[in-house]
Chains A and B, each alone.
Chain A
Amino acid sequence: MHPTSRRTYLDGVRAAAPIGVAAFAFGLSFGVLARSAGMGRVAPVVMSATTFAGSAQFAVASILGAGGGLVTAIVAAVLLNLRYGPIGLSAAGAFEGPWWKRALLAQFIVDESWAIAQRDDGRFDRYLLVGAGMLLLVCWTTGTAIGAVAGDLVADPESLGLDAAFPALFLTLLWPQVRERSRLLAALGGAAIALVLMPFTGPGIPIVAASLACLVGARNGARRPS
């Protein structure tokens, strides 16, 4: 069956607009933190445009700023970004074309663009993913640049409650999925694995381990015709 989609990149941009505000505000605060951690003005902006993964970037800035060492910073950031392995696997079906195009478009995967791009059938819409990722990349990188230059003029996004917008976003996008029993089980399993591991592992590992809960779906694999 050919996946005909009437979506466009602009639909992804629109869908991501509300969370783009929060991405911009956290980009600002990353720019401020990175500069005060001694990363200068240019490196944080380059990092936002290329790494494009908030939690890992905050980890690098805070570890380098605290004198925690280069290897510690790199290991922490890579562990935090390992979740993009299973996240990329789940969305792999959305990408088509030659290898370089798939690799390039995959760079627009962040937690939020990936979450927004889910369709009702559990697959992923490339236009929503890339459109949302483009907007978030622009918001995040612009915010970083302004934060790195303007510094202390910027309000703390946590005082605006913007850190609470992210779990609310993921819950909203999870909601329609859990009406199906096996997906509810996967969600409960993923949440349980994360909760159990959080006190014992560094950040990053609980999310990667939570992906094991997808195995509940393998039991009824023959059910869904493709």
Chain B
Amino acid sequence: MSAVWISVIVVGLATVAIKAAGPLLLARHAPPPRAQAALEHLAPALLAALVVTQALGGDNGGFTVDARLAGLGAGAAALLLRAPLLVVITVAAVTAALVRLVA
């Protein structure tokens, strides 16, 4: 079997298992209150990490400052003006595209 298909199958099976792990492990019993409270704080912690890594992550780790950061800044400004989701992400994308066009 070629390296391509081995990687497709192994990565696919691993990802299926990782995604299923949480819902399989936790669904039988409700966790104790402290653990439940920690779980409810997973989302903001992970979302914030996603904002940081998606805005600043380089292709091979490390930081890359580019038009994404300008796009995120413009999106944040739209957010402060109470713009809805569609407007925020459109503003972010258009700003990043314009910055790339000019730069």
Chain A residues with a Cβ under 8 A of chain B: 18-19, 22, 38-40, 43, 46-47, 50-53, 56-57, 60, 62, 64, 70, 73-74, 77-78, 81-96, 99, 102-103, 105-107, 109, 111, 115, 118, 122-123, 158-175, 177-178, 182-184, 186-191, 193-195, 198-199, 201-203, 206-207, 210-218, 220-224, 226
Are the CB atoms of A89 and B22 closer together than 8 Å? yes
In the assembled complex, how far is the CB of residue B18 from the closest CB belonging to chain A, in whole angstroms?
Answer: 5
Q: B15 is contacted by which of A43, A51, A62, A201 (Cβ under 8 Å)?
A: A51
How many residues on the B side are at the interface (Cβ–Cβ under 8 A)? 77
The interface residues of chain B lying within 8 Å CB-to-CB of A214 are 38-42, 45
Separation of A118 and B41 alpha carbons in the complex (Å): 12
Are the CB atoms of A90 and B96 closer together than 8 Å? no
The interface residues of chain B lying within 8 Å CB-to-CB of A202 are 60-61
Task: Kindly supply a per-residue 1/0 record for chain B positions 44-63, scoring 1 wherever the CB is within 8 Å of any chain A CB and 0 otherwise.
Answer: 11111111111111011111
Are the CB atoms of B22 and A88 closer together than 8 Å? yes
B65 interfacial contact with A, CB 8 Å? no
Dominant SS among interface residues on chain B: helix
Are the CB atoms of B41 and A95 closer together than 8 Å? no
The interface residues of chain A lying within 8 Å CB-to-CB of B63 are 198-199
B40-94 residues with Cβ-Cβ distance < 8 A to A are 40-57, 59-63, 67-68, 70-72, 75-76, 79, 85-86, 88-94
In the assembled complex, how far is the CB of residue B80 from the closest CB belonging to chain A, in whole angstroms?
Answer: 9
The interface residues of chain A lying within 8 Å CB-to-CB of B24 are 99, 102-103, 106
Separation of A187 and B45 alpha carbons in the complex (Å): 4
Are the CB atoms of A118 and B43 closer together than 8 Å? yes
Given A89-B22, A226-B30, the answer on whether A207 and B43 have CB atoms closer than 8 Å is: no
Are the CB atoms of A161 and B71 closer together than 8 Å? yes
Given A60-B11, A194-B52, the answer on whether A85 and B44 have CB atoms closer than 8 Å is: no
Given A87-B22, A198-B53, the answer on whether A47 and B44 have CB atoms closer than 8 Å is: no
In the assembled complex, how far is the CB of residue A14 from the closest CB belonging to chain B, in whole angstroms?
Answer: 11
B102 interfacial contact with A, CB 8 Å? no
Closest to B94 in A: A161
The interface residues of chain A lying within 8 Å CB-to-CB of B25 are 89, 92
**13 A-B contact pairs sorted by A residue (CB < 8 Å):** A47-B8, A73-B11, A87-B22, A105-B23, A107-B19, A161-B95, A164-B92, A167-B55, A168-B72, A168-B88, A174-B48, A202-B60, A214-B39
